[in-house]
Copies of this chain bind each other. A is one copy, B any other.
């Protein structure tokens, strides 16, 4: 069971959707990632919060396998984000993004964590992702996320990151934008040519498409068919946490463990959307994870006659 070093954002979110509003709840990509991954292995979180973060954050991470040595607390306010969802939850408007202490964030990897075998570079400035890679010692696997903002604004630096990344985890629109290819098969191949041997494309309610390392053959998984989706915030980061957590827990990286990791990621994400913010993940049990993983198997299994 290998630990994961995870770098990204920790935030206070305010989320409004047709079912209600959650005000100033703990969010951020690294938060969702770490909580999800901690169901599988030890997580070493590197992020920054303001001095307003206080006990609420500690309460959230307490009792989980999340090492907070790398969590910096600095004077000022924690990163804040407010989003509002439309009626069918597929449309989201950002009401505000206040970087606050995150604006000056310089990731510092604690000495004891530099040899972490698994590294997750959350969706932050590619320059910061490079700074993390410069501090770690020969990781076995580096996974990264990014977004349209960095694809459009910092393409060269993002290109440098991609050369040093094994697994890129992005959504379909980002894959198309990064490669100027509307066809996802071509887009995935084009991303492989940029560096990552494995490309995981998140398609929301349509599931996940992954290229395999080696021959680049594809693995595809549907999303769990859900009757109700309550709050999609953080579903992608939760997916990444379940995916990388599962991989790190078994240690071996091959076609079978990558496919299984996609399903664990999808499993965790399918829970995350059932309630506001991290609420469902915080009361999730290992038995529920096992049971839903088996639902995924029944959902997709077939065999030759």
**A→B interface (CB under 8 Å):** 88, 182-186, 203, 206-207, 209, 217-222, 225-228, 250, 256-257, 259-260, 262-263, 293-294, 297-305
Contact = CB atoms under 8 A, between A and B. Distances in A.
Q: Which 3 A-B pairs have the closest CB atoms?
A: A220-B222, A259-B302, A206-B206
A182 to B, nearest CB: 6
Contact of A219 (B221, B263, B300): B300
Contacts of A298: 217
A293 B305 CA distance: 11
Contacts of A227: 183, 185-186
Given A88-B182, A186-B227, A303 B222 contact: no
A304 B300 contact: no
Contacts of A260: 302-305
Contacts of A293: 304
7 contacts: A185-B225, A186-B227, A203-B206, A217-B298, A220-B225, A221-B222, A221-B302
Contacts of A225: 184-185, 209, 218, 220
Nearest to A209: B225
Contacts of A88: 182
Nearest to A88: B182
B299 A218 contact: yes
Nearest to A255: B298
B250 A301 contact: no
A88 B203 CA distance: 18
Contacts of A182: 88
Contacts of A304: 260, 293-294, 297
Contacts of A184: 225
B305 A297 contact: no
A202 B91 CA distance: 24
B220 A301 contact: no
A263 B305 contact: no
A262 B302 contact: yes
Contact of A302 (B183, B226, B250, B256): B256
